[in-house]
Amino acid sequence: MPVRLGAVSYLNARPLVFGLGAQASRFSLRFDVPSKCAALLHERSIDVGLIPSIEYWQRADYHIVPDVAIASQQRVASVALFTARPISEIRTIAIDISSRTSVMLLRILCARRFEISPQLVALPPDLSTMLERCDAALMIGDPALFADPKVLGVQKIDLGEEWRAMAGLPFVYAFWAGRPGAISAGDVDRLREAKRAGASHVEEVAREYFGDDSAKVAVGARYLCENVSFDLGDAEREGLRRFYEYAAELGFAPAAGTLRFY
């Protein structure tokens, strides 16, 4: 039976599955929003999921595919807070709950960096509506990447950049995870090779994703080159541990434990 993979539907995940669609005898592949990927893995509807990093901490039985992640070194561009108010005056933030990691990152930054304690309001990811209802809005993925803050008359605060300024480390948004024995050593190698190939062909990835929209292809390729990183090396692992530590210190998540790898 093919290994059932659940991947994130956003552009930043596409390099990680580069060429896997052609390996139908080994992998079956589906795309969903991050929170859905995690839910499918929890209910065993998929074998390995590209899950939000905070979801891993809820499950003591999951292992991580080494060396593969969706991360940022500095500015990420696709996870951002949009606001027309100074940060100190923000009292309510509309959140898109399709990625729990981004919401947790926002909560940590509010507490540790911005020094505010706003009410978080879950709303559909429509930026105009969110900003009508709340002082600020958290957007993720492609909508955050392509939203034009100048047209909207708001400031875009990049959460990857804010994390780096606070923690001095990369931030890890998602990675492949599954239960022990869900994949073989050969499957791990195939996933690592897909990442290497995808990271080397970002223009092709963007073209496949956006089709004939040359403007979006250009923006997407630049984003994949300049904003997103796909490695899970020593610095990224330390950033992941720091994220879990901050979440635990603030009472948002269980105490930090051990990263487990295939």
Inter-CA distances, 156 with 95, 109, 139, 145, 149, Å: 14, 15, 10, 10, 6
Q: Both tokens of residue 210?
A: 């956006």
Q: Is 185 exposed, middle or buried (0-12, 13-18, 19+ CB in 10 A)?
A: exposed
Could you please state the CATH topology (level 3) that the domain comprising 3-73+170-220+227-249 is classified under. D-Maltodextrin-Binding Protein; domain 2 (3.40.190)
pLDDT score at 223: 97
Query: Is the per-residue pLDDT at 58 higher than 90?
Result: no
DSSP-assigned beta bridge partners for residue 50: 176
E strand residue ranges, the chain: 3-8, 27-32, 48-52, 63-64, 70-72, 79-83, 92-95, 119-122, 136-140, 155-158, 171-178
Q: What residue ranges do the domains of the chain occupy?
A: 3-73+170-220+227-249, 79-167
Query: Is the per-residue pLDDT at 60 higher than 90?
Result: no
Query: Is the per-residue pLDDT at 253 higher than 80?
Result: no
User: In the predicted model, what is the mean pLDDT of residues 103-112?
Assistant: 97
Query: Longest Cα pair distance anywhere in the chain, in angstroms?
Result: 55
**Can you say how many angstroms the Cα of residue 187 is from the centroid of all Cα atoms in its chain?**
22
Q: φ and ψ at 234, to 5 degrees?
A: -60, -45
Q: Give the separation between CA 78 and CA 147, rounded to whole angstroms.
A: 9
Q: Both tokens of residue 22?
A: 């052609």
Q: Are 47 and 131 in contact (CB under 8 A)?
A: no
Q: Both tokens of residue 121?
A: 């309001």
User: In the predicted model, what is the mean pLDDT of residues 34-53?
Assistant: 94
Identity of residue 46? I
Q: Are 5 and 47 in contact (CB under 8 A)?
A: yes
Q: Are strands 27-32 and 3-8 parallel, antiparallel or unpaired?
A: parallel
Q: Are 222 and 65 in contact (CB under 8 A)?
A: no
Q: What is the pLDDT of residues 117-152, one digit of tens each?
A: 999 999 998 999 999 999 999 999 899 999 999 998
Q: What is the pLDDT of residues 143-169, one digit of tens each?
A: 999 999 999 899 999 999 999 999 999
Question: For 79-167, which CATH superfamily applies?
Answer: Periplasmic binding protein-like II (3.40.190.10)
**pTM for this entry:** 0.94
Give yes or no on whether 3-73+170-220+227-249 and 79-167 have one common fold: yes
Inter-CA distances, 119 with 80, 92, 113, 138, 190, Å: 17, 5, 16, 12, 43
